[in-house]
């Protein structure tokens, strides 16, 4: 890819980037969120058209007008968020859009046999007749890879492939990649996880702010050097919380909490946890093990099957968010744009999303607009929310500013406990530091924080104690300062410590 | 052609687009008229004349506009929070049943009492009919589009049954001809709703109630806890759940409110205009469905609904009164449909920005 | 009185007769909804089909079978043209599909275009010059029980059976059918895999229009060989309900349509046999039953296995390229 440039409204995503990958190598594409690596990958796979620059495959210049062109040229991408039709079968999904099979499928068994054969060859077992919604995340990713292999992909792009996998599943994936490169295929591995790249790649290309910082051989470099190329300054890898007082008083206690998910299946099994005032308890785990439902069960957004949630010894009513709010529970949800705020409502209205039922914001069922505005102006200033005005609809704000609105609202209610779910996901470095700073500050003031995060690094950085959740159960709690990543990884994958 | 979602809508566009779609609809219908061999300009002139200009026309327009206003508000109230209540038709029928029942029961009471009773009857029966799909939606997440639709037909059948299929309280059995040719019991003279005479136009009581209801609805959405919660729920159900909004309560209450407004429309039909329960007339008029058109064109804003109800009332009034060999009934529906099509199409321009393809060779400069 | 005159056989045979337009209309709506487009304009499209088919029958010359064939096709084509409006609005202009479908019904329906055509063409008040009559299939119409039910129906009934079989094969045994199902379930996925979402949605919405037109033609050429303003009396809405009732599966629409056809004819047949139940009660059964089925389908377990195409009613906007 030579001198690729791509501009979106308001941002120059790729600025004259050069990128080349050799046959049979695993080439990592490294950069922070917003550095342009996903854009570059999307251009290579035909999703976007570059504003200028060109792509050459095996020496020949090509132009992709759609993902199908790219697929026909042998370039396939496995996206971070899978593109699968949940109610169709595995075989259906693999064959979807492929024109090599006959139009009339008199015997669906033939395709299923082909798929099974392919899966066996690459040691990725998956049932061809299973419906995708029945599969685990790791299995779904295998379907995505099989899709590419079925179409004879010579160049496979993987976008943050391990973000949803356990350490063991990630290792299985790397095995599969090695099989593929041995056959002469090329893998482009897009990621921001330094340790993985060091383990699996042959070369690394680093992007920063849309520009190419450099391309190095993996064995000639180390994490520090890569981090410097990625961020432009030294990154501190040590624990952030120093000399921090935690009291013995319990802020939040969960006793044998069980809950069901939206489909009626039990997703939390007898979860017990304690968070003390001023303490940050991290809940680590791979996505999809009940984290969201745990946060909702505590905040009242989800009713509990059994068990108790107590805040300062007071029992919270199940399924009653108002009761939780009144008793000092703040919740920063993982889906900030559609749950944390109501997108079409103004910032001012969003800031009273939880307090609108009580004085001084409302009296006798009627809203007091003057109080709402005053509250909004005060919070916008205090939390430095960048917006044209309090009447601006929330959906016009950047991710970081939306999170500031959420934090402003939650923190200003003087909570006893904060349940924060993936609070820095998708935010740039500046916003991430701001959010973490606010959480640390709250802990310093004596608020108990339950930090539920899929980012193990974040938990290692901030937590006093770390609990691991697996399939809706707490499988272990370890002190933060002495935590061993291997041990945590094993727990996250369900192996007992 | 690229289509991107707009972040922010310029003020002028919000007014210009509906106006332009109205013009486009008029032009398109003119083509249909030409195809049928009729003179569009003359037809439009006659329509406009009969709707607004001729002596007495404004008052007649008000008569047609009143039920449209009420069912329009009913639809607007619900649609604003993405609660697709298509059942205004059936809720209006039930409101008519309730109001006429009350009017007959209270026949020996003084006028204001009867009228109050009719209003109450209309509100309660309409609300009750709407609460059924509301409960189904709240507790079983059943799609309200289909349930309200189905109940429209059940309501129509009920209406027919009361007069044509049985010897019910609503049916007039006093004379031989009434027994042979089924009809409803006429309401007492004291049950006639008053009207507001403004010399240039006479406003039926129902219209006045409708305007008050519009103001109330506007205030409700803007300044009450309930209104805010309804908006949150309509905007993002996960956010509503997160914020502790009692979703079920809000859904059922809003359906009841919407149904009450439609029921009031039915009460007005009986009290202001028909003075009897008239199944055939009510079912032919299709007032509930027309209300949805009014609400959509008014973009769910209560005050716009008043204006649109007035305009469409004029159209309907002219259409019905001009009906005959020279002026087929179907024309009204055609014009209404056209207006709605163009308004819907115009919505795209309000929410999305369209940019034309970049000319070949100028890839470096992408125009917006 | 033979068994073929018994109330049961008569009922079943007439259920099939009265239920057939519902089969056409609901299979059509099923195809549209499978692609993700909700079309509430079925009632309007059926009436357009009815009036144009009737017009054709009154004005075309030739042998009966040819006139009927052409009339049905013309009815279908007219309804297809009408559905194009909804397709453009819903797919290309991303309009609110509920309002658009309703607008279509208002535009084309009982007090709209179909009525306009009816009066402009002076189509009311005279019987059709040709009508669909029952065919004695293979000469077996006298066979006990099966005779009147299976071998003594009109051509469109048999066509509807062929339609259901073809639709089943199409959905589950062809590549296009797979693509259709993907478009309805996850248009983003289909798009990325190279399936043209807009094209599929257009095609199947138009197919829905065509079939709704044929259903309408059935009314004016088979059930009541006449033109009456608004003669479908809400059958279009029942067809929409039927699609849900049948969990979006063609074979179940057949069963559902006949069940609903049963209820329509039940009222009158019973009256003819002096059973004193008001016909309105039976008339309301299809609607009530649909609501009941809907409640069942909405529960969590059923939703995943039996539910609506996930993207139904939601316009698809592809991220910018």
Give residue B6's pLDDT: 66
Q: With contacts defined as CB-CB under 8 Å, which chain B residues touch A344?
A: 231, 235-236
Chain A touched by B368 (CB under 8 Å): yes
A191 shares a domain with A335 = no
pLDDT (mean) for A288-315 = 89
Record: contact C182-A85, CB cut-off 8 A:
yes
Record: contact A87-C176, CB cut-off 8 A:
no
Locate B21 and state its tokens: 């779609």
State percent of chain C over pLDDT 70: 91
Residue C41 has pLDDT above 50, yes or no: yes
Q: With contacts defined as CB-CB under 8 Å, which chain B residues touch C29?
A: none
CA-wise closest residue to C229 among C53, C110, C78: C110
Which of A8, A96, A262 has the CB atom closest to C182's CB atom? Answer: A96
Distance from CA of B14 to the nearest CA of A (A): 17
How open is the CA angle A426-A431-A433, to the nearest 5 degrees? Answer: 110
Locate C201 and state its tokens: 């949605």
A226 shares a domain with A170 = yes
A338 shares a domain with A298 = yes
Is the distance from CB of B271 to CB of B161 less than 8 angstroms? no
Domain boundary among A181, A199, A231: A231
Report, in this order, helix, strand and coil percent for chain C, each rounded to 5: 70, 0, 30
Record: contact B344-C95, CB cut-off 8 A:
yes
Record: contact C190-A133, CB cut-off 8 A:
no
Distance from CA of B357 to the nearest CA of A (A): 13
Record: contact B244-A354, CB cut-off 8 A:
yes
Is the distance from CB of A26 to CB of A181 less than 8 angstroms? yes
Q: With contacts defined as CB-CB under 8 Å, which chain C residues touch B330?
A: 111-119
Distance from CA of C263 to the nearest CA of A (A): 34
Is there a domain that residue B310 lies in?
no
Which of A7, A339, A367 has the CB atom closest to B225's CB atom? Answer: A367
Which of B153, B296, B341 has the CB atom closest to C234's CB atom? Answer: B153
Is there a domain that residue B207 lies in?
yes
| Closest Cα in chain B to A369 | B223
A319 shares a domain with A201 = no
Distance CA C258, CA C14 (A): 9
Q: With contacts defined as CB-CB under 8 Å, which chain C residues touch A79?
A: 192
The helix (run of H) or strand (run of E) holding residue A330 is strand A329-332
pLDDT digits (tens, 9 = 90+) for B120-145: 999 999 999 999 999 999 998 888 88
**Band of pLDDT at residue B360, cut at 50, 70 and 90:** very low
Most B CBs within 10 A among A342, A365, A391, hence the mutation to make, goes to A342
- Which DSSP category does A251 fall into? E
pLDDT (mean) for C185-205 = 89
Q: Note down the domain range covering A401.
A: 250-492
Q: With contacts defined as CB-CB under 8 Å, which chain B residues touch C290?
A: 146, 150
A vs C, Cβ pairs < 8 A, gives 77
pLDDT (mean) for A390-404 = 86
pLDDT (mean) for A143-168 = 83
Q: Which positions 476-495 of A are in contact with B (Cβ < 8 Å)?
A: none
pLDDT (mean) for A139-154 = 86
pLDDT (mean) for C208-220 = 95
> To which residue do tokens 């309000």 refer?
B350
Cis peptide before A121 (omega within 30 of 0): no
Distance from CA of A91 to the nearest CA of C (A): 11
Burial of C198 (0-12, 13-18, 19+ CB in 10 A): middle
Q: With contacts defined as CB-CB under 8 Å, which chain B residues touch A9?
A: 4, 368
Distance CA B14, CA B21 (A): 12
Alpha helices in A269-368 (DSSP H): 291-299, 321-326, 347-351
A179 shares a domain with A300 = no
Lowest mean pLDDT among A228-242, B16-30, B301-315: A228-242
> To which residue do tokens 């259920």 refer?
C15
State percent of chain A over pLDDT 90: 18
Locate C6 and state its tokens: 């018994």
Residue A239 has pLDDT above 60, yes or no: no
Q: Which of B156-165, B282-291, C40-49, C103-112 has the highest mean pLDDT?
A: C40-49
Distance from CA of A342 to the nearest CA of B (A): 6
Q: With contacts defined as CB-CB under 8 Å, which chain B residues touch C295?
A: 136, 140, 142
Q: With contacts defined as CB-CB under 8 Å, which chain A residues touch B240?
A: 342
Which of C104, C113, C241 has the CB atom closest to B150's CB atom? Answer: C241
Q: Coil, helix or strand for B197?
A: strand
pLDDT digits (tens, 9 = 90+) for A266-275: 889 999 999 9
Most A CBs within 10 A among C172, C189, C303, hence the mutation to make, goes to C189
Locate B236 and state its tokens: 């993002």
Which of C229, C295, C317 has the CB atom closest to B140's CB atom? Answer: C295
Give residue A431's pLDDT: 80
Is the distance from CB of B265 to CB of B291 less than 8 angstroms? yes
Distance CA A98, CA C76 (A): 33
Report, in this order, helix, strand and coil percent for chain B, each rounded to 5: 70, 5, 25
Record: contact A343-B235, CB cut-off 8 A:
yes
Strand partners, A212: A207
Give residue C29's pLDDT: 96
Q: Note down the domain range covering B220.
A: 68-300
A257 shares a domain with A218 = no
For domain C3-306, the question of CATH label 1.10.3470 is answered with: yes
Give residue B345's pLDDT: 82
Distance from CA of C56 to the nearest CA of B (A): 17
**Band of pLDDT at residue C303, cut at 50, 70 and 90:** low
Q: Which of A469-483, B110-124, C221-235 has the highest mean pLDDT?
A: B110-124
Distance from CA of A45 to the nearest CA of C (A): 10
Is the distance from CB of B170 to CB of B104 less than 8 angstroms? yes
Record: contact C107-B154, CB cut-off 8 A:
no
B vs C, Cβ pairs < 8 A, gives 159
Q: Indicate the number of domains in chain A.
A: 2
pLDDT (mean) for B322-337 = 75
Give residue B362's pLDDT: 37
Q: With contacts defined as CB-CB under 8 Å, which chain B residues touch A301?
A: 241-242, 244
Record: contact C100-B141, CB cut-off 8 A:
no
- Which DSSP category does B327 fall into? B
Distance CA B206, CA B265 (A): 7
| Closest Cα in chain A to C181 | A88
Is there a domain that residue B185 lies in?
yes
Is the distance from CB of B174 to CB of B33 less than 8 angstroms? no
- What is the complex's ipTM, to 2 decimals? 0.81
pLDDT (mean) for B236-260 = 93
Distance CA B6, CA C320 (A): 13
A255 shares a domain with A184 = no
Q: With contacts defined as CB-CB under 8 Å, which chain C residues touch A49?
A: 321
Residue C20 has pLDDT above 90, yes or no: yes
Record: contact C186-A85, CB cut-off 8 A:
yes
Give residue B367's pLDDT: 34
> To which residue do tokens 């059976």 refer?
C161
Distance from CA of C10 to the nearest CA of B (A): 25
Distance CA A448, CA A308 (A): 17
More confident residue, C281 or A241: C281
Q: What mean pLDDT value characterizes chain C?
A: 85
Record: contact B224-A367, CB cut-off 8 A:
yes
| Closest Cα in chain C to A93 | C182
Find the helix packing angle between B225-235 and B247-268, rounded to 10°: 110
Is there a domain that residue B249 lies in?
yes
**Band of pLDDT at residue A238, cut at 50, 70 and 90:** very low
Is there a domain that residue B37 lies in?
no
Distance from CA of A420 to the nearest CA of B (A): 13
Distance CA B137, CA B126 (A): 17
Q: What mean pLDDT value characterizes chain B?
A: 85
Distance CA B353, CA B333 (A): 31
pLDDT (mean) for B105-120 = 91
Q: Which of A25-39, C108-122, C247-261 has the highest mean pLDDT?
A: C247-261
pLDDT digits (tens, 9 = 90+) for B160-191: 888 887 778 888 888 888 777 888 888 888 88
Give residue C321's pLDDT: 41
CA-wise closest residue to B153 among C105, C262, C99, C288: C288
Is there a domain that residue A245 lies in?
no
Is the distance from CB of B113 to CB of C257 less than 8 angstroms? no
Q: Indicate the number of domains in chain B.
A: 1
Locate A23 and state its tokens: 């046959």
The helix (run of H) or strand (run of E) holding residue C304 is helix C300-306
Record: contact C175-A92, CB cut-off 8 A:
no
Is there a domain that residue A256 lies in?
yes
Lowest mean pLDDT among A429-433, B99-103, B209-213, C264-268: C264-268
Most B CBs within 10 A among C231, C291, C302, hence the mutation to make, goes to C291
Distance from CA of B366 to the nearest CA of A (A): 8
Q: What mean pLDDT value characterizes chain A?
A: 83
Q: Which positions 151-210 of C are in contact with A (Cβ < 8 Å)?
A: 173-176, 178-179, 181-182, 185-186, 188-190, 192-195
Lowest mean pLDDT among A230-244, C69-83, C133-147: A230-244
Q: What's the whole-model pTM score? A: 0.81
pLDDT (mean) for A34-42 = 78
pLDDT digits (tens, 9 = 90+) for B50-92: 888 888 888 888 998 999 999 999 999 999 999 999 999 999 9
A227 shares a domain with A254 = no
A320 shares a domain with A190 = no
What subunits touch chain B, counting only 3 or more CB pairs under 8 A?
A, C
Chain B touched by A340 (CB under 8 Å): yes
Cα dihedral C95, C98, C100, C105, rounded to 10, equals: 170
Most A CBs within 10 A among C34, C192, C197, C321, hence the mutation to make, goes to C192
Give residue B361's pLDDT: 40
Give residue B151's pLDDT: 92
Record: contact C304-A133, CB cut-off 8 A:
yes
Strand partners, B324: B327
Chain A touched by B15 (CB under 8 Å): no
- Which DSSP category does A259 fall into? E
Is there a domain that residue A243 lies in?
no
């Amino acid at each position: 890819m030579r001198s690729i440039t791509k501009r979106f409204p308001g941002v120059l995503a790729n600025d004259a980037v050069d990128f080349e990958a050799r046959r049979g190598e695993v080439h990592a594409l490294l950069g922070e969120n917003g550095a342009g690596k996903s854009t570059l990958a999307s251009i290579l796979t035909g999703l976007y058209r570059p504003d200028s620059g060109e792509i050459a495959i095996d020496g020949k210049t090509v132009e992709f007008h759609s993902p199908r062109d790219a697929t026909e040229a042998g370039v396939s991408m496995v996206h971070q968020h899978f593109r699968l039709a949940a109610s169709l079968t595995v075989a259906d999904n693999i064959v979807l859009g492929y024109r090599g099979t006959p139009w009339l499928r008199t015997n669906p068994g033939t395709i299923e046999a082909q798929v099974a054969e392919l899966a066996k060859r690459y040691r990725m077992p998956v049932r061809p007749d299973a419906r995708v919604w029945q599969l685990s995340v790791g299995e779904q990713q295998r379907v995505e890879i099989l899709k590419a292999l079925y179409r004879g992909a010579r160049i496979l792009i993987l976008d943050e492939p391990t973000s949803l996998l356990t350490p063991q599943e990630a290792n299985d994936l790397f095995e599969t990649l090695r099989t593929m490169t041995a056959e002469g295929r090329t893998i482009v591995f897009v990621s921001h996880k330094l340790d993985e790249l060091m383990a699996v790649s042959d070369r690394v290309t680093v992007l920063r702010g849309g520009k190419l910082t450099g391309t190095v051989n993996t064995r000639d470099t180390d994490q520090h050097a890569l981090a410097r190329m990625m961020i432009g300054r030294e990154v501190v890898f040590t624990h952030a919380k120093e000399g921090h007082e935690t009291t013995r008083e319990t802020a939040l206690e969960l006793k044998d909490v069980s809950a069901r998910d939206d489909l009626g299946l039990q997703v939390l099994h007898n979860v017990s946890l304690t968070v003390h005032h001023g303490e940050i308890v991290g809940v680590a785990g791979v996505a999809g093990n009940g984290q969201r439902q745990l946060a909702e069960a505590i905040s009242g957004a989800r009713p509990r099957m059994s068990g108790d949630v107590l805040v300062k010894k007071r029992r919270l009513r199940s399924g009653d968010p108002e009761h939780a709010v009144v008793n000092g529970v703040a919740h920063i949800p993982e889906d900030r744009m559609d749950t944390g705020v109501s997108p079409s409502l103004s910032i001012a209205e969003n800031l009273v999303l939880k307090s609108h039922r009580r004085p001084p914001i409302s009296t006798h069922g009627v809203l007091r607009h003057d109080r709402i505005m005053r509250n909004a102006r005060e919070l916008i200033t205090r939390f430095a929310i960048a917006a044209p005005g309090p009447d601006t609809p929330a959906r016009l704000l950047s991710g970081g500013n939306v999170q500031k609105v959420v934090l402003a609202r939650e923190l200003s209610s003087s909570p006893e406990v904060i349940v924060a779910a993936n609070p820095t996901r998708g935010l740039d470095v500046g916003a991430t530091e701001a959010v973490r700073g606010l959480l640390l500050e709250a802990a310093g003031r004596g608020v108990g924080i339950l930090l539920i995060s899929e980012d193990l690094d974040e938990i290692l950085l901030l937590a006093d104690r770390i609990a691991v959740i697996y399939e809706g159960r707490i499988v272990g709690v370890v002190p933060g300062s002495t935590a061993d990543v291997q041990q945590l990884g094993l727990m996250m994958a369900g192996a007992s410590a | 052609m690229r289509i991107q979602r707009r972040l922010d809508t310029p003020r002028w566009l919000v007014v210009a687009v509906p106006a332009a779609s109205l013009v486009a609809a008029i032009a398109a219908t003119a083509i249909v008229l030409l195809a049928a061999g009729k003179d569009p300009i003359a037809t439009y002139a006659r329509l406009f004349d009969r709707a607004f200009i001729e002596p007495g026309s404004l008052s007649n327009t008000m008569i047609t506009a009143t039920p449209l206003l009420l069912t329009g508000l009913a639809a607007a109230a619900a649609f604003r929070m993405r609660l697709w209540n298509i059942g205004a038709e059936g809720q209006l029928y039930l409101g008519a049943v309730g109001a006429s029942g009350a009017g007959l029961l209270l026949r020996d009471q003084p006028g204001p009492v009867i009228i109050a009773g009719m209003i109450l009857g209309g509100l309660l029966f309409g609300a009750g009919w709407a609460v059924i799909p509301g409960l189904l939606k709240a507790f079983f997440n059943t799609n309200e589009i289909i349930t309200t639709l189905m109940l429209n037909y059940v309501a129509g059948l009920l209406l027919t049954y009361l007069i044509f299929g049985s010897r019910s309280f609503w049916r007039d059995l006093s004379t031989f001809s009434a027994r042979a040719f089924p009809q409803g019991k006429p309401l007492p003279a004291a049950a006639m709703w008053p009207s507001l005479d403004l010399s240039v136009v006479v406003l039926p009581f129902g219209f006045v109630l409708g305007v008050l209801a519009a103001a109330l609805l506007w205030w409700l959405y803007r300044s009450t806890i309930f209104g805010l919660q309804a908006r949150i729920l309509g905007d993002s159900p996960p956010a509503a759940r997160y914020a502790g909004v009692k979703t079920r309560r809000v859904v059922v209450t809003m359906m009841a409110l919407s149904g009450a407004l439609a029921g009031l429309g039915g009460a007005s039909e009986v009290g202001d205009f028909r003075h009897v329960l008239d199944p055939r007339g009510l079912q032919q008029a299709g007032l509930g469905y027309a209300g949805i058109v009014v609400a959509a064109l008014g973009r769910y804003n209560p005050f716009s609904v008043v204006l649109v109800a007035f305009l469409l009332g004029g159209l309907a009034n002219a259409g019905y009164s001009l009906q005959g060999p020279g002026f087929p009934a179907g024309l009204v529906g055609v014009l209404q449909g056209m207006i709605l099509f163009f308004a819907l199409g115009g919505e795209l321009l309000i929410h999305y920005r369209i940019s034309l393809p970049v000319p070949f060779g100028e890839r470096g400069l992408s125009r917006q | 009185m033979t068994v073929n005159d018994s109330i049961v056989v008569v009922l079943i045979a007439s259920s099939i007769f009265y239920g057939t337009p519902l089969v056409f209309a609901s299979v059509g709506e099923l195809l549209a909804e499978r692609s993700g487009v909700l079309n509430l304009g079925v009632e309007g499209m059926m009436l357009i089909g009815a009036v144009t088919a009737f017009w054709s029958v009154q004005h075309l010359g030739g042998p009966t079978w040819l006139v009927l064939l052409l009339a049905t096709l013309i009815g279908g084509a007219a309804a297809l043209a009408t559905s194009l409006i909804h397709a453009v609005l819903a797919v290309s202009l991303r309009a609110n599909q509920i309002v658009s479908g309703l607008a279509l019904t208002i535009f084309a329906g009982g007090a709209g275009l179909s009525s306009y055509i009816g009066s402009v063409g002076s189509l009311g008040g005279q019987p059709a010059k040709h009508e669909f009559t029952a065919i004695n299939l293979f000469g077996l119409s006298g066979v006990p029980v099966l005779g009147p039910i299976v071998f003594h129906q009109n051509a469109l009934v048999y066509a509807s059976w062929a339609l259901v079989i073809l639709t089943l094969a199409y959905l589950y045994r062809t590549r296009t059918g797979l693509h259709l199902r993907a478009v309805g379930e996850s248009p983003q996925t289909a798009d990325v895999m190279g399936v043209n979402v807009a094209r599929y949605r257009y095609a199947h919405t138009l197919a829905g229009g065509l079939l709704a037109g044929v259903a309408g033609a059935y009314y004016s050429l088979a059930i009541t060989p006449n033109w009456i303003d608004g003669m479908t009396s809400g059958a279009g809405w029942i067809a929409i309900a039927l699609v849900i009732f049948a969990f979006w599966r063609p074979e179940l629409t057949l069963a559902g349509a006949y069940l609903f056809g049963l209820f329509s004819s039940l009222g009158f047949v019973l009256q003819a046999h002096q059973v004193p139940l008001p016909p309105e009660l039976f008339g309301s059964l299809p609607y009530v039953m649909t609501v009941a089925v809907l409640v069942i389908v909405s529960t969590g377990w059923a939703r995943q296995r039996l539910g609506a195409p996930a993207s139904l009613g939601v316009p698809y906007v592809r991220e910018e390229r």
